[in-house]
Amino acid sequence: MSARRLAADQPASFEMTPETQAKLDRIIAKYPQGKQASAVISALWLAQKQNDYWLPRAAIEKVADMLGMPYIRVLEVATFYT
């Protein structure tokens, strides 16, 4: 099993652009109440795309907050395929 670590140099914050936020809102709206966490991969992909295909810790935290998920669960999804 390999250790997966985020880059040491991280931005202080991450905010989605209005365009990215609108796309994510449309995706989240497709899921029933209480099942919005199912949009986690789409949310991470949009955040990564907006940030020049790099996913900083602040973006992972933002996605976790938006979907009402614990940070560690979103991190697990974000690092699963690396």
pLDDT of residue 6: 78
Burial (Cβ within 10 Å: 0-12, 13-18, ≥19) of residue 23? middle
The whole model's pTM is what? 0.88
pLDDT of residue 11: 86
Q: Cα dist. 82→25, 26, 63 in Å? A: 27, 27, 18
Domains and CATH numbers, the chain: 18-80 (1.10.10.1590)
Q: Decide which of 9 and 59 is more confident.
A: 59
In the block, tokens 């997966």 appear at 4
Confidence of residue 82 (pLDDT cuts 50, 70, 90): low
In total, the chain counts a number of residues equal to: 82
The rounded distance, in Å, linking the Cα atoms of 60 and 47 is 8
How confident is the model over 1-58, as pLDDT tens digits?
A: 456 677 788 888 999 999 999 999 999 999 999 999 999 999 999 999 999 999 999 9
Q: At what angle do helices 18-28 and 40-50 cross, to 10 degrees?
A: 170
